[in-house]
Amino acid sequence: MNSIFLTGGSGFVGTNLQSYLSQGYQFKNFRRGEQLDVKEDIVLHLAGKAHDTKNITNPNEYYQVNTELTKQVFDTFLQSTAKVFITLSSVKAAADKVDGILTEEIVPNPQTHYGKSKLLAEQYILSKPIPPGKRVYIIRPCMIHGPGNKGNLNLLYDLVNKSSPRVHPSFDNQRSFCSIENLLFVIKLIIEKNTVPSGIYNVSDDETLSTNDIIRLIAQIETKKVGNLSLPGILLKLLAYIGDYLNLPLNSERLKKLTESYKVNNGKIINAIDEKLPIRAEEGLIKTLRAFSLKREQ
């Protein structure tokens, strides 16, 4: 049975991962404050400080967790007998905005403390030689979602669900998402296929969707009729701007994450694992949105 040293086991990805790999794997959950001591076969470093869309986090927290903790975990891995190291970074370590499609070849230029802290951790890992017999992977997922996830999709769901069925926001955008099912599938294959080269990999669903596509899916789940009267994007941006000052759930940062165009190319990881992803983008979003609906009915 393979053993996994896991950080971030209580988070969204960590809890789902332990369930997903419940057969054939045993976990040692690391908690901050404990002494780092790796005796397991695999190190999965999922712990991190998420991007705070309310912009109230002390910037130092990003560097303490996303950068320094990653350095410590990676150094411990290098000194251990573990063979595989996987860390969860983010596409925001590469770019906050994307012109065209994001690939791993882009020269990173993050603008936020979140992105910068993730990039510093990546650069530290890449600066170290990989000892023979070890494999090292930096995974950059885009917006992760799935049942039980609390995030910006939940906010959009609430906005659409509470609005008039004759009015909906209108945004001409395309963005990539990452279903938790696809992310876990990729992690499992990286562990089990020793033919996957060490390196940086974007992880996303195969297809992109627009904000209007998501609104249509929400309307289908809630059996609401989305009419022809569109709410201009400029008006919604004004509401978000007000939310910045009144500390409302909808603010400019959250609106940008929901409505910006951000297309991610996942070709490198698909070629490396040589497998098709198990779930299409729309199917994964429907699962997530239905989970939101069921929760509100309880």
Domains of the chain in start order, with CATH, are 2-145+176-206+262-279 (3.40.50.720)
Query: Residues 6 or more apart from 132 whose CB is under 8 A from it?
Result: none
Q: What is the pLDDT of residue 166?
A: 44
**CB contact at 8 A, 95 and 102:** yes
**Between β-strands 2-7 and 25-30, what pairing exists: parallel, antiparallel or unpaired?**
parallel
Q: What is the pLDDT of residue 297?
A: 62
| Tokens at 90, concatenated | 């983010």
Rounded Cα gap, residues 267 and 252, in angstroms: 31
User: CA-CA-CA-CA torsion for 232, 237, 242, 247, nearest 10 degrees?
Assistant: 130
Which residue, 252, 141, 117, 269, is CA-closest to 193?
A: 269
What strands lie across the sheet with 143-145, from one edge to the other?
143-145, 175-179, 208-209
* Torsion sign over Cα 272, 189, 264, 6: negative
Give the three-class secondary structure for 212. helix
Q: What is the pLDDT of residue 52?
A: 60
Rounded Cα gap, residues 242 and 82, in angstroms: 50
Per-residue pLDDT 10s for the chain (298 aa) are 799 999 999 999 999 999 999 999 999 999 888 899 999 999 999 999 886 655 566 888 999 999 999 999 999 999 999 999 999 999 999 999 998 999 999 999 999 999 999 999 999 999 999 999 999 999 999 999 999 887 777 777 777 766 554 445 566 789 999 999 999 999 999 999 999 999 999 999 999 999 888 888 887 887 755 554 455 566 666 666 676 676 666 677 777 767 789 999 999 999 999 999 999 999 999 999 999 877 666 5
Q: What is the pLDDT of residue 98?
A: 92
**CB contact at 8 A, 207 and 280:** yes
Q: What is the pLDDT of residue 158?
A: 74
Q: What is the pLDDT of residue 228?
A: 47
Q: What is the pLDDT of residue 133?
A: 96
Rounded Cα gap, residues 20 and 133, in angstroms: 26
